[in-house]
Amino acid sequence: MKQSKVGFWLFLLPSLLAFTIVVLIPAIWGLGYSLTDWNGISHNVHFVGFQNYKTIFLGDKDFLHAFLFTTLFSFCAVIFINVVGFALALLVTSKVKCSTFMRTVFFMPNLIGGILLGFIWQFIFIQGFGAISKITGIQGFSNWLSDTTTSFWGLLILITWQLSGYMMIIYIAYIQSISNDLIEAAQIDGANYIQRLRKIVIPLVRPAFTIGMFLSLSTCFKLYDQNLALTNGGPYNSTEMLALNIYNTAFKYNDLGLAQAKAVIFLIAVATIGLIQLYFNKKKEAEM
């Protein structure tokens, strides 16, 4: 018994050490810096208590806007990414030809870095859409990244294109685990495709929705490089997300103490929203 306990802790020790060094200590360190006025360069660091938090909640309109924009964007992105990912999974698990090739093509955007993706879509929105606007005369295709509304949709298209293929893989795993006997029995009973989808596939794939929504929600809240490359927060800071706002506070305005306070609020908000989403999804799974 003692040997198995020793083996357990020895097996766990490397992971615990890595977690402590890479996550726990920097988090505690950052929490301490959020109570100071450190500018990131000077050795003179003064304790200011909760002044940074007061500044954020009482006077930082840019942070509040970034928070609301990120929340709205993440809510829309979670829906788009998972609906498209599930639709792609249904497509490639059907009897369509070249399904293996399509899986590769749909997953490929996930392998491209966020900065590169941002510049690719910046070219498409400015040059590609601009050319379409000139040819067709439709003004809706022009100046996509110069307008506050279409910039939002531009970011949404980019992240949906990038993450849908990844979510597709999760949904494929669950769809393929459904017994063929169930599907065949439903077919014999006269159930059409929509009925089989509603009554068999979606209920049995529900755990995948929990995973997909959690992953997409946490990814969208932390979005930085795509935001930087595509819009850089513009126009007029209308598309500045939380991670970019924190980065600018730290390295553009050299206010590391304030940036750390924002990061702490960011961490608490993402953890809270993620746990709430997990709770309701798990509750829904239990009800079914």
- What is the chain's mean pLDDT, rounded? 90
Q: Phi and psi of 273, rounded to 5°?
A: -65, -40
Between CA 214 and CA 161 the distance in angstroms is 18
pLDDT the model gives residue 3 = 62
Which of 257, 221, 184 minimizes the C-alpha distance to 35?
Answer: 257
Out of 38-42, 64-68, 275-279, give the one with best mean pLDDT. 64-68
DSSP state of 47: B
Q: What is the model's pLDDT at position 166?
A: 94
**pLDDT per residue as tens digits for the range 233-244:** 888 889 999 999
Length of the chain measured in residues: 288
The 3-state DSSP class for residue 127 equals helix
**Model pLDDT for residues 133-181, shown as the tens digit of each residue:** 889 888 888 888 888 889 999 999 999 999 999 999 999 999 999 998 9
pLDDT of residue 17: 94
Q: Rounded CA gap, 217 and 210, in Å? A: 11
Task: Provide the phi-psi class of 233: left if phi over 0, else alpha when psi is between -120 and 50, else beta.
Answer: left
Q: Does the pLDDT value for residue 194 go beyond 80? A: yes
Q: Is the pLDDT of residue 223 over 60?
A: yes
- DSSP calls for 154-199: HHHHHHHHHHHHHHHHHHHHHHHTS-HHHHHHHHHTT--HHHHIII
Q: pTM, whole model, 2 decimals?
A: 0.87
Residue 283 has pLDDT above 90, yes or no: no
